[in-house]
Structure 1
Amino acid sequence: MSVVTVTGSSGRVGAAVAETLAAAGWTVQGVDRAPGPWTGVVGDLRDDRTRRAALRDATTVVHAAALHAPHVGRASEVDFRTINVDATAGLLEDAAAAGVRRVVYISSTSVYGDALVPVDRAVWVDESLRPHPRDIYDETKLAAEDLVAASTIGSVTLRIARCFPEPLPVLATHLLHRAVGLDDVATATALAVTSTEVTGTMNIAGPYFFQRSDCPALHVDAPRLIAARAPVVAAAFHSRGWPLPPTIDRVYDSSAAMNALGYRPAWDVLSLLRGR
């Protein structure tokens, strides 16, 4: 295997990706502003020397470093633009000069923004849904996506669903329709790294029980539909005293990644409830 540079390698997603790629035989070259087990270059990607050191001998880049949604209101808009957009532009330019042949960009389903707000039915979120950014995070992640797509380097952008720790009842509810397991994110990224003929933008989420035709019912009476589609899940919520969500506003669809990359998400709400 060759050298893969993983940016944001001390973060939750970056570290998981680095570990998965290393287990698959890649030589991982991590870069982050904070030290970590997978981070060999500690520095800011806005710095030319940091980027070039991180890219040394690399054939592939996984770009996960960014300011994220929780930073909105805590970091300035200038920082969001310089870190999420300008540093991405510099990284892509330096990667092309260094002979990098593949870039996998870790984006977020958050870029859909206000397009996720339902009107009379749950929103079925596949890649045909036009993003409508609602804050500086969404704007800058979408701008970085555009830079990646316009690069001369073959690339895949993965819009990953929610995948951070939450209280169990909240996480269980989100795993019904809008969250994803961290292991599945790492696996999807590894697939995108090795599927060198695949390009484009894909959602990474699921697996879920619902179908597009369920969207009107999910908006009106989600518990009834959950009980019909997944009675074991409904019973598990009931036995724990957790309420089922009265309405579900969106369902993420990962079919494009399943078809193009062979992505098969394994960690669902039943995995959580069974303690897997």
Structure 2
Amino acid sequence: MRAERGKGAPAGVVVVTGSSGRVGSALAAAFDAAGWVVRGVDRVPGCWTSAIADLRDRRVRRTALQSADVLVHAAALHAPHVGRLTDEEFRAVNVGVTAELLNDAARLDVRRVLYISSTSVYGHALVPTDRAVWVDEQLTPLPRDIYDETKLAAEDLVDAGSVSSVTLRIARCFPEPLPVLARHLLHRAVDLADVATAGVLAVTHSTVTGRFNISGPHPFHREDCLALHRDAGAVLARRAPDVFEAFRDRGWPVPDRLDRVYDSTAASNAFGYRPVRGVRQLLRDAADGLSA
């Protein structure tokens, strides 16, 4: 946690769980940059983690949340843990800890909760039939594994809690080879910097509640779904010819079919989320020799 801060009163105290993880650390850094005092909690060390501890311990939760204004709950077991850990462990961590944190937050007068979920909760609903699936918040989640089930159950707890809350369903945002990442950024991924920006926006727009997809920016429109399932390359050439040509110039395969497109319009309308680090920025960074 940064020891000193510039002039002016801090925006408040934010507790970030999972602060040593990829998403949690990015959120912690963004809140610090926005003027918040950050308390990070994780089971492993990290530059934003001030308490190395297990959130299943009540004393850890209470100490972290004492006098806090906001709880950002990013700690969880994730999809790679499926099959390696028991379903009971998933429920204990992803659901049980969330329930206890919400109870403690309410008792200690925390005024806002941001829950970090995943677009993975849509599960089987992401499988296309005759067209790409347009994934907005109206799509009914159909969990396919214990990870999806427990993240969705935690979302329900957050939504039903007494503390003002907002849930962000984060699209794919982990390191991948450039051609793979570029393809995913076309329709189903998000840059970590955009995720961090979304988190700060969602907290500071204090009257906004509900669940929101965080992805993009993507070049496609809802009316493209049928064509994307048949000839995604032709749609890309029409919607983003510069991106199409950049793929060809680099020898990256242009997708012939896309199964889904994530839509973050609701987050844009509700709290001003405007993703900027999409596939075009990736291509610019690659041209400049910068790593993704």
Q: Number of aligned pairs?
A: 276
1:116 aligns with 2:142: no
Residue identity matched to 2:226: P
CA shift for structure 1 position 76: 1.5
Counterpart AA for 2:15: T
Does the 8 A contact of 1:30 with 1:41 survive in 2?
Answer: yes
TM-score of the two chains, using structure 2 as the length reference: 0.94
Q: Aligned partners of 1:53, 1:15: CA distance in 2, in Å?
A: 20
Counterpart amino acid of residue 21 in structure 1: F
Structure 1 residue 35 displacement after superposition: 1.1
Alignment match of 1:260 (pick from 243, 247, 270): 270
Alignment match, 1:224? 234
Superposition deviation, residue 240 in structure 1: 1.1
Specify which of 141, 144, 150 is matched with residue 134 of structure 1.
144
Which whole-Å CA distance do the structure 1 matches of 2:108 and 2:39 have between them? Answer: 14
Alignment match of 1:2 (pick from 2, 12, 17): 12
Picking from 41, 62, 76, the partner of 2:86 is 76
- The equivalent of 1:143 in structure 2 is 153
CA drift of 1:74 comes to: 1.5
Residue aligning to 1:251: 261
Corresponding position of 2:24: 14
Of all paired residues, the percent bearing the same amino acid is 67
How many angstroms apart in 2 are the aligned matches of 1:13 and 1:130?
Answer: 25
Aligned to 1:105: 115
The CA distance in 2 between the partners of 1:265 and 1:35, in whole Å, is 30
State the distance in 2 between where 1:93 and 1:200 align: 19
Would you say 1:28 and 2:38 are equivalent positions?
yes
For 2:279 and 2:218, locate their aligned partners in 1 and report how far apart those are by CA, in whole Å.
8
Does 2:244 match 1:234? yes
Displacement of 1:253 after TM fit? 0.4
Distance in 1 of aligned mates of 2:209 and 2:198: 14
Alpha-carbon distance in structure 1 between the residues aligned to 2:88 and 2:234: 46
Structure 1 unaligned residues grouped into runs of 5+: none
In the TM superposition, residue 46 of structure 1 has moved relative to its aligned partner by 1.1
**Which whole-Å deviations, capped at 9, do the CAs of 1:192-247 have from their partners, x for residues lacking one?**
11010100100000111110000000000001110111111111111111111110
**Matching residue of 1:45:** 55
Give SS of 2:174's match.
Answer: coil
- Structure 1 runs, 4 residues or longer, greater than 3 Å off: none
RMSD over aligned Cα, in angstroms? 0.7
Whole-Å separation in 2 of the counterparts to 1:77 and 1:231: 46
- Asked if 2 retains the 8 angstrom alpha-carbon contact of 1:41 and 1:53, the reply is no
Shift of 1:162: 0.3
Match in the other structure for 2:5: none
Q: What are the superposed Cα offsets for residues 98-117 of structure 1, whole Å, 9 maximum, x if unpaired?
A: 10010000000000000000
Letter matched to residue 198 of structure 1: V
In structure 1, how many angstroms separate the alpha carbons of the residues matched to 2:284 and 2:274? 19
